[in-house]
A and B are shown apart, each in its own frame.
Chain A
Amino acid sequence: MAEKEGGGESPGQGVPRAKTGISGLDSVLNGGVPQGNFVLLTGACGTGKTTIALEMLVNGAKDGEPGIFITTTEPVERVIDNAGTFAFFERALVGKKLHFVDSAELFEELHISPDLTDKDMEAFLKWLTKTVKEKQAGRVVLDSLTGICQRMSKSEHIREFSDKLARTLSKAGVTTIATSETRPGEMSYSSFGVEEAVADGIILLGNADSRGYLLRTLQVVKMRGTVHSRARYVIDLTSHGLIMVPMLKASMREG
């Protein structure tokens, strides 16, 4: 559940937080993601975007804040089966505090055309607003934003859609984690180069070579409404969820 941040004179003091429930990450974010932020969780394939987004959503639900997970990449059953392999996941929450939606089925239901016209965007956002209200959702995961944006041919449309999506959800007080694909080794925050402009926050996942071994990394690049660390952390995706520790300077020098 969103909580008021503790004391201190820092920017963002008193801003309600959506705690991620991931101890290292909440510390980095000075208490959690500011409530209502639209956050891009970005990285190449296999960097852990879906797992981390899911963990944040599940932890919110366990804390009494309902969440909606919209999948564009795989069927709901597969997402839930995969989630079931993690100790943090509680199947009993599904349908109560956790709601999974397959975008392919949803788009069919809403008669949304493959190239996502303005009318289609409106229909989707209308559905989202209604569903958030119905489910009293405080968190939404869109996995992935890239999957939806790929349907659009022009970057103006992508920017417009991302902007409208972020505004709609922020207005509803919803904290959103939108995953975004980047190419391995590429120094960018999104597939189309425009999504990051509308995001309140960017959490970058990647890999780092350290003394001949590949480490998974996480870095909060930006987060409006709070002071936060911009250091790079080494992460591990375990069956008990995300674990993170600071990256040693020696590894950065030798990497």
Chain B
Amino acid sequence: MPVDVEKVVQSSLDEAAPNAAIALMSDLNFYFQTMKAVVDYANRQNKKMIYVTSTIPSSVIKQQLEAEGVSTANLYFVDCISFIVGSTGGEKENSIYIESPTMLENIMLKVETWLKQVGTKGTLLFLDSMNTLAMHNDEKALSEFAYYLINSLRVRQVMTVVLSIHEQTPEDLEVILKLVCDSAIDVKETA
């Protein structure tokens, strides 16, 4: 059955506690719609969003969202991919670049940097995506990273949304996500 991605994502996030951690397990075909639905949710709730991207450069994400009429004014990027593909193009407002997605501590530090600037109240962290981080990091490191990041945000009332693409998420990673997140939502067509 076709799935209404926006409805699935919105209702999951609407029902979640303000400091919840939600894993969105999306089909590859729904990647953009899922990502857009999370940004739409943050905009509608007037939340500031710290967007950790290891999948697509932040400049491209901004272009894609703006082309769809989605505001990116409240997005604060931690961009782990532009540097290695040589597309940082100097300092940009609302983007902090990390040299490599293997620098997990640096991702944590840059999330803290944004939190120090935008505050924790009403802030949402969006991790896009766990499966690409898994391409660059071993399971133990990623598991430790996810535990620390999500729990440190949880105690400060920051909501975390972790995106992972079904087809590219190893089973072990799925287990980690289900362990550290309060709920795991499937965004896929049903039989």
Contact = CB atoms under 8 A, between A and B. Distances in A.
Interface of A: 210-213, 215, 234-236, 238, 240-241, 243-251
B113 A236 contact: yes
Residue among A241, A248, A249 having the largest count of chain B Cβ atoms under 10 Å: A248
B113 A238 contact: yes
Contacts of B108: 234, 245
Contacts of B113: 236, 238, 240, 243
Given A236-B109, A249-B140, 13 more contacts: A211-B103, A213-B102, A215-B105, A234-B106, A234-B108, A236-B110, A238-B116, A240-B117, A243-B109, A245-B105, A248-B105, A250-B144, A251-B104
A150 B142 CA distance: 46
Contacts of B106: 213, 215, 234, 236
B109 A248 contact: no
B116 A240 contact: yes
Given A213-B99, A213-B100, A247 B105 contact: yes
B102 A246 contact: no
Contacts of B105: 210, 215, 234, 245, 247-248, 251
Contacts of A249: 140, 144
Interface of B: 99-100, 102-106, 108-110, 112-113, 116-117, 137-138, 140-141, 144-145, 148, 152
A208 to B, nearest CB: 9
Contacts of A251: 104-105, 141
Contacts of B152: 245
Nearest to A234: B105
22 contacts: A211-B102, A213-B102, A215-B105, A215-B106, A234-B106, A234-B108, A236-B109, A238-B113, A238-B116, A240-B113, A240-B116, A244-B109, A245-B105, A245-B109, A245-B148, A246-B148, A248-B104, A248-B141, A248-B148, A250-B140, A251-B105, A251-B141
A248 B140 CA distance: 10
A211 B106 CA distance: 12
Contacts of B148: 245-246, 248
A211 B103 CA distance: 8
A248 B99 contact: no
A100 to B, nearest CB: 26
Contact of B138 (A243, A245, A250): A250
Contacts of A212: 102
A171 to B, nearest CB: 36
A248 B104 CA distance: 8
A245 B144 contact: no
B74 to A, nearest CB: 19
A240 B148 CA distance: 22
Contacts of A240: 113, 116-117
Contact of B116 (A211, A243, A247): A243
Nearest to A251: B105
A241 B138 CA distance: 31
Contacts of B99: 213
A47 to B, nearest CB: 16
A249 B104 CA distance: 11
Residue among A210, A246, A249, A250 having the largest count of chain B Cβ atoms under 10 Å: A250
B172 to A, nearest CB: 15
Nearest to A247: B105
A210 B109 CA distance: 15
A187 to B, nearest CB: 22
A250 B141 contact: yes
A234 B111 CA distance: 13
Nearest to A208: B105
Contacts of A250: 104, 137-138, 140-141, 144
A238 B102 CA distance: 21
